[in-house]
Structure 1
Amino acid sequence: MIPSRDEWQAALELRHGRERQKSFSSAVVAVCGLGGLGSNIAVALARAGIGKLILIDFDRVDLTNLHRQQYKAEQIGRLKTEALSENLKEIAPYTALETHTVRIDRENAAALLKEADIVCEAFDDAEYKAMLVDTVTEKMPGKYLIAASGMAGLGSANDIKTRRLTNRFYLCGDEVSDAADEIGLVSARVMLCAAHQAHAVLQILAKEA
Structure 2
Amino acid sequence: MTQQPLNPQSPFFHEERHANLQPFAGRLITICGAGTLGANVGEMLARMGFTQLRVIDKDRIEMRNLSGQPYSRAEVGAPKARALANMLYRAVQTRVEPRVVELNATNAPELLKGSALVVDAFDNAQAREAVSQTTRAASLPCLHIGFSGDGLYGSGIWEPHYQVPQEVPGDPCDYPLTRPLALMLSALAARAITDFFRLDRRHDFELTWNDLNIHY
Query: TM-score if structure 2 supplies the norm length?
Result: 0.75
Tell me the equivalent position of 1:97: 96
Q: Does 1:195 align with 2:193?
A: no
Give SS of 1:66's match: helix
Deviation at 1:208, TM superposition (A): 5.4
| Percentage of pairs with the same residue | 25
Determine if the alignment matches structure 1 residue 54 to structure 2 residue 78: no
For the Cα contact (< 8 Å) 1:153–1:179, is it kept in 2?
no
Quote how far apart the aligned CAs of 1:72 are.
0.6
One-letter amino acid of the structure 1 residue matched with residue 22 of structure 2: K
Which residue in the other structure is 1:108 paired with? 107
Return the alpha-carbon distance in structure 2 between the equivalents of residues 179 and 191 of structure 1: 26
Q: Report 1 or 2 for greater relative contact order, CA contacts < 8 Å, sequence distance ≥ 6.
A: 1
The answer to whether 1:15 aligns with 2:17 is yes
| Cα displacement string for residues 54-96 of structure 1 (whole angstroms, at most 9, x for unaligned residues) | 0111110001111111101111001112211121123211x22
* Aligned counterparts, 1:23-172, within 5 A: 23-93=23-93, 95-137=94-136, 139-141=137-139, 143-153=140-150, 155=152, 160-164=154-158, 166=160
Contact 2:30/2:54, CA 8 A, preserved across alignment: yes
When residues 152 and 67 of structure 1 are mapped into structure 2, their CA distance, relative to the original with a 3 A threshold, is farther
Output the amino acid matched with 1:88: L
Alpha-carbon deviation of 1:27?
1.5
Contact 1:63 1:73 (C-alpha < 8 Å) held by counterparts:
yes
Structure (1/2) with the larger helix percentage: 1
Deviation string for 1:106-130 (max 9, x for gaps)?
1111111112100000111122222
**Scaled by the length of structure 1, what TM-score is found?**
0.78
- Alpha-carbon distance between aligned partners in 2 of 1:68 and 1:118, rounded to the nearest angstrom: 24
Residues 160, 183 of structure 1: CA spacing in aligned structure 2 closer, same or farther, 3 A cutoff?
Answer: closer
Tell me by how many angstroms 1:51 deviates: 2.5
Say if 2:145 and 2:155, in contact at 8 Å, map to a contact too. no
DSSP 3-state at the match of 1:34: coil
- Ranges in structure 2 where 5+ consecutive residues have no aligned partner: 1-6, 202-216
For the aligned residue pairs, the C-alpha RMSD in angstroms reads 2.9
TM-fit CA distance, 1:190:
2.3
Output one character per residue of 1:155-185: Cα deviation in whole Å (capped at 9) or x when no partner.
3xxx54545564xx679xxx89x79699632
SS in structure 1 at match of 2:147: coil
Would you say the 8 A contact 1:85–1:97 is kept in 2?
A: yes
Cα separation, 1, equivalents of 2:31 and 2:158: 19
Superposition deviation, residue 154 in structure 1: 5.4
Where in structure 1 are there 5+ consecutive unaligned residues?
none
Closer/same/farther in 2, CA of residues 102 and 76 from structure 1, 3 Å limit: same
| Secondary structure of the structure 2 residue equivalent to 1:50 | coil
